[in-house]
Structure 1
Amino acid sequence: MSKEMSPDVIEADETVRVRFTINGRKVACQVAPRDTLVDCLRNQLELTGTHAGCEMGACGACLVLLEGQAVHACLMFAVQADGARIETIEGLSESGSIGDLQAEFHRRNALQCGFCTPGMLISAHELLSQANRPSRLEIRDALSGNYCRCTGYEAIVDAIDAVAGMRMAASPHEGEDEPS
């Protein structure tokens, strides 16, 4: 007796076509339903700045922005991101939106081996897009999902704090007129 499969059931050996907008570019991939987003990014799209660390969502090495929010790409199936707008560390670097963070991380030696740095930068970028001038405690809280084995975090917090201060100084203060 043959089993008739429902049209929404996918066989284990089948692949599914997914489409994303990654770093401003529309892409399509064929993925197995069990492929994680981090695997798709690294293996199919060669966006290797997103790292597969613990593969349990605890280290933050796999962070990407999905619709502007940081998500663990190791905990998400690629099919779950179908149709989404995704930004990786490569896209944020190329656009220059984290150039000041990268420069300050470098200046303050806030990176060692570099494995965790992309995730740290994603977390810092998300924090600074939500809070103009976060406290050092808020910075530490934002980094609590990122694990680094090489640093003591102090230089990382210093770098993010310095960038927050520079951005605040560069933007017009609330209630004041902009210079003409």
Structure 2
Amino acid sequence: MAVRKAMKYSLGPVLYYWSKETLEDFYQQAAASHADVIYLGEAVCSKRRATKVGDWLDMAKSLAGSGKQVVLSTLALVQASSELGELKRYVENGDFLLEASDLGVVNMCAERKLPFVAGHALNCYNAVTLRILLKQGMVRWCMPVELSRDWLVNLLNQCDELGIR
């Protein structure tokens, strides 16, 4: 009989614009929650800069100190050199796993041989793409939100056929 692993609960990144103080309060509450994995970081719009990279890293350290696995979420669309500079700070943080929501982050992680979570914005729709991402260091995959249960079942069967599940 196969041994089942205990299910883990994840709390995704806040997708709304909240003040730094509201985010800090929220993540203090999250530290006391039953969530095992907490994603945090600006994943929507770089223009929402009330919370800086250093602030996110401080919140991440606090959450990790309370026993949570922290994953730093990154922008889904990198458009400016300033955004690229911030992404490099995330990639080079030295402590936390990244959620790559842009292939640029995947490439930065792969170049440094760092593990990463493939975020839902990567538009990964088939097992061959998942196999490529695995070779680049992916340790977890978040399914794109627009896809159905039937699609997921089919994809998992493809993964079984490729021996990557």
**Aligning the two structures, in what range does the TM-score lie when normalised by the shorter sequence?**
under 0.3
Report which of the two structures shows the higher radius of gyration computed on alpha carbons.
1
Give me the TM-score of the superposition, normalised by structure 2.
0.25
* Greater RCO, CA 8 A, separation 6+: 1
What TM-score, normalized by structure 1, do the two folds share?
Answer: 0.23
